[in-house]
């Protein structure tokens, strides 16, 4: 006999179906909204442009798919970062800062520790990125747990501190003056056959690592006592205290893990060997912020985040090709952002959907 609880975590359970349908309807509304903006900004090209957004991701066949996986990798990780913290009831707005310090750590190790054999060089660099990201989230975690400082404010501050520190450190340690960016890292992630599958694209083993992390986080949240404790703290901090759960420790741990996930995301991007460098500019890392809509659209569930990350990467990719049909780059950014953020209202749609379903059921009976 199948254990009873398996039946409950069934992928096709009513709860999951509601989540899925609501995410999908959110996406549809987002796309529709994008179409409206297209129509306003350039009516004659609107439908062609819309088609580009919808199918642009497949441009070049397998190459396009490979690019989508490549762009999805870091935002899946930052999505995991935000979603994981949210399970503990914490809003991690600091994925951006955690991401950029993770990037710096990865690049520093990737550039400087050349004595390491290539097969482990990237591992060390990636671990450094995780550690740096985790460390960056440690302070907001401690402030939240022990001084009840709102983590939203603390993590936003850390974003700016992270950005300026990294800019400074890059110019001092790994600077390519000509291009105003970091120099190329020697450590590079393995390809694990993905380049043969998706020729001429930038995809690499990092995508597999992201998928692996999705599974790890899924198990951590749903199958372990640690995940149980984190959820208990997230749902009801007083009750978990009553149960003897060390809520303070869990808050700190949860933030650190979230930070490490964002750091890994940066490692996977900057060690990809795709020519990506840390640019010395005063702009917060956009991958960090995109983690928020990814997590929202994925309903904070790791599996959902995986697909949400893929979707958002796909749309972004389609947006690149929009430039071919006479759209100003700024408008493209607006359209893509509109689709992404509109979709992220999935949570609201979830409520509407479950009400609709309930209403229909009541009518039937």
Partner 1 sequence: MEYIIEMLGITKTFPGIIANDDITLQLRKGEIHALLGENGAGKSTLMSVLFGLYHPDKGTIRMNGQEVHIKDPNDANKLGIGMVHQHFKLVHNFTVIENIVLGVESTRHGFLSMENAKKKVMELSDRYNLKVDPDALISDITVGMQQRVEILKMLYRDNEVLIFDEPTAVLTPQEIEDLMQIMRGLTEEGKSILFITHKLKEIMAAADRCTVLRKGKYIGTVEVDAVTMEELSEMMVGRKVSFAVEKKALQPGQDIFEIRNLIVKSRHSQKNAVQNISFKLRRNEILCIAGIDGNGQSELVYALTGLQPVVSGQLILGGQDITHASIRQRNAGGIGHIPEDRHKHGLVLDFNLAENLVLKNYYLEDYQHQGFIKFDAVYQYADQLIQQFDIRSGQGAFTPARSMSGGNQQKAILAREIDGNPDVLIAVQPTRGLDVGAVEYIHGQLVDQRDAGKAVLLVSLELEEVMNLSDRILVIFEGELVAELDPKETTIQELGLYMAGSKRGKVQ
Residues that bind partner 1 (CB under 8 A): 3-5, 8, 223-226, 228, 231-232, 235-236, 238-246, 362, 365
If the CB atoms of residues 6 and 283 are measured against partner 1, the closer one turns out to be 6
Q: Which two tokens stand for residue 240?
A: 């978990």
If the CB atoms of residues 179 and 249 are measured against partner 1, the closer one turns out to be 249
3-state secondary structure of 28: helix
CA–CA distance, 103 with 99 (Å, rounded to integer): 6
If the CB atoms of residues 219 and 328 are measured against partner 1, the closer one turns out to be 219
CA–CA distance, 3 with 214 (Å, rounded to integer): 25
If the CB atoms of residues 112 and 237 are measured against partner 1, the closer one turns out to be 237
If the CB atoms of residues 247 and 340 are measured against partner 1, the closer one turns out to be 247
In the complex, the smallest distance separating the C-beta of residue 118 from partner 1, rounded to whole angstroms, is: 34
CA–CA distance, 70 with 307 (Å, rounded to integer): 14
Tokens 């750091």 correspond to what residue? 263
Which residues contact residue 41 at a Cβ distance below 8 angstroms, ignoring those fewer than 6 apart?
A: 327, 328, 331
In the complex, the smallest distance separating the C-beta of residue 256 from partner 1, rounded to whole angstroms, is: 17
In the complex, the smallest distance separating the C-beta of residue 242 from partner 1, rounded to whole angstroms, is: 4
In the complex, the smallest distance separating the C-beta of residue 79 from partner 1, rounded to whole angstroms, is: 22
H-run or E-run covering 54:
helix 46-55
Which residues contact residue 13 at a Cβ distance below 8 angstroms, ignoring those fewer than 6 apart?
A: none
DSSP 44: G
In the complex, the smallest distance separating the C-beta of residue 6 from partner 1, rounded to whole angstroms, is: 8
CA–CA distance, 291 with 217 (Å, rounded to integer): 15
In the complex, the smallest distance separating the C-beta of residue 244 from partner 1, rounded to whole angstroms, is: 3
If the CB atoms of residues 42 and 246 are measured against partner 1, the closer one turns out to be 246
Report which of 66, 25, 46, 22 is spatially closest to residue 335, judged by C-alpha positions: 46
């Amino acid at each position: 006999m199948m254990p009873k609880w398996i039946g409950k975590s069934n992928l096709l359970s009513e709860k999951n179906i509601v989540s899925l349908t609501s995410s999908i309807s959110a996406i549809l509304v987002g796309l529709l909204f994008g179409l409206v903006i297209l129509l306003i900004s350039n009516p004659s090209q609107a439908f062609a442009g819309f088609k580009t957004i919808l199918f642009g991701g497949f441009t070049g066949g397998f190459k396009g798919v490979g690019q989508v996986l490549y762009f999805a990798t870091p935002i899946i990780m930052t999505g995991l970062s935000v979603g994981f913290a949210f399970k503990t009831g914490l809003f991690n707005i600091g994925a951006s800062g955690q991401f950029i310090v993770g990037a710096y750590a990865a690049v520093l190790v990737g550039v400087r520790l050349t004595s390491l054999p290539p097969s482990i060089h990237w591992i060390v660099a990636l671990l450094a990125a995780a550690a740096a990201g985790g460390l960056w989230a440690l302070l907001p975690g401690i402030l939240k747990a022990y001084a009840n400082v709102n983590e939203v404010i603390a993590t936003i501050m850390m974003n700016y501190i992270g950005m300026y520190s990294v800019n400074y450190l890059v110019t001092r340690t790994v600077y390519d003056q000509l291009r105003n960016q970091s120099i190329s890292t020697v450590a590079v992630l393995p390809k694990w056959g993905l380049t043969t599958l998706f020729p001429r694209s930038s995809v690499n083993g990092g995508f597999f690592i992201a998928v692996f992390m999705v599974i790890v986080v899924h198990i951590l949240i749903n199958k372990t006592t640690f995940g149980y404790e984190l959820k208990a703290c997230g749902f009801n901090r007083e009750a978990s205290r009553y149960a003897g759960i060390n809520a303070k420790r869990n808050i700190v741990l949860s933030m650190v893990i979230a930070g490490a996930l964002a750091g890994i995301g940066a490692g996977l991007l900057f060690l990809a060997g795709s020519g990506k460098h840390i640019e010395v500019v005063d702009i917060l890392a956009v991958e960090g912020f995109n983690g928020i809509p990814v997590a929202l659209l994925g309903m904070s569930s790791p599996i959902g985040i995986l697909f949400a990350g893929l979707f958002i990467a796909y749309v972004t990719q389609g947006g690149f090709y929009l430039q071919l049909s006479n759209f100003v780059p700024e408008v493209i950014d607006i359209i893509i952002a509109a689709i992404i953020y509109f979709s992220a209202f999935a949570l609201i749609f979830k409520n509407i959907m479950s009400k609709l379903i309930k209403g229909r059921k009541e009518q039937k009976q």
